[in-house]
Structures are given as structure tokens and as C-alpha cells.
Amino acid sequence: MLPIDLTTLLYQLAHLVTAWLIVMPIAWERERATRIMGLRTFPLVALGTCAFVLIGTSVIGDNGDAKMRLMEGVITGLGFIGGGAILKDGNGSGVRGTATAASIWTTGAAGIAVGFAQYSIALIIVALTFLILRWLSSIKGQVEGMDESRKA
């Protein structure tokens, strides 16, 4: 039988479930707005980043330099995943998906924060990201609408 400490298992499970649940508002907003990435991708990013922190800290302990290297690696991976959300328009006039890519990055930061038991930081990150995506998108649409009416 595998030696599993029930206390450690519950501690890690609580962190992983928290990371998964805390980002659901962002996941819902991105699913609704873009359908490029959403209800599956964002929770998986938070779950994965939290897991890497939990695994890393169980191996490296309190070594601050090693924790920073762990975060650097996770952040680099987040950039790679976020890059997949950025699409070039067919006519070459611009790109789209940068807000989704940035949201992947902040979702990863929330997962890292939960992994390090920094719940207040995670809550602030999620709240601000959700508000930016929700409210500033509507403001952006209004500004673009005014620009289109000026061109006509």
C-alpha cells in the first residue's frame, strides 16, 4: 500500500479545488465572449499552476531561490499557452485574442497564489481580471461604435 498522509492529501486537495473554483468567473466570461478558451482551459490553467507550486514546494521546501525558479518556469509556460490564444486576422490588419492571452496569464498567477496559500492575492487577481474583461469590453465596444459612426 502507498504511504499517503491523509492530512497532506486534504491540504493539497483543498488548494487544487480552490484554484479550480476561484477562476470560474473568468472562465465563464471568456467562454461567453470568445469561445476560443473558456470553461475548460482557464480552470485547467489554475489547477496546473497550483499543482506545480504544490509539487515544487513539497520538494524544495523553503528555499526562496528555488521557489523563484519554479515560478519563472511556470510563467514561461503560461506565455506559451497564452500565445496560442492570439490569432492574426486573415487580411493581416491586426490580431485578436490578446485579452484572452492576458487572462490566461492572470489566471496562472491566481493559481500560483493559491498554491502558495496567498488567497487574498488570488481573489484580487480574479476580481480585477473579471471586471476588466466584463466592463472594459463594453466600454471598448461603445468607443468602437463611435469610431465607426464617425467614418460613415
The pLDDT assigned to 96 comes to 80
Segment 12-42, tens digit of pLDDT = 999 999 999 999 999 999 898 876 788 999 9
Higher pLDDT, 63 or 142: 63
Question: Over 80: is that where the pLDDT of 89 sits?
Answer: no
**For all residues of the chain together, what is the average pLDDT?**
87
Segment 111-127, tens digit of pLDDT = 999 999 999 999 999 99
Q: 45: closest CA among 125, 124, 120? A: 125
The pLDDT assigned to 98 comes to 86
Residue 10's Cβ-count burial label (10 Å; 0-12, 13-18, 19+) is: exposed
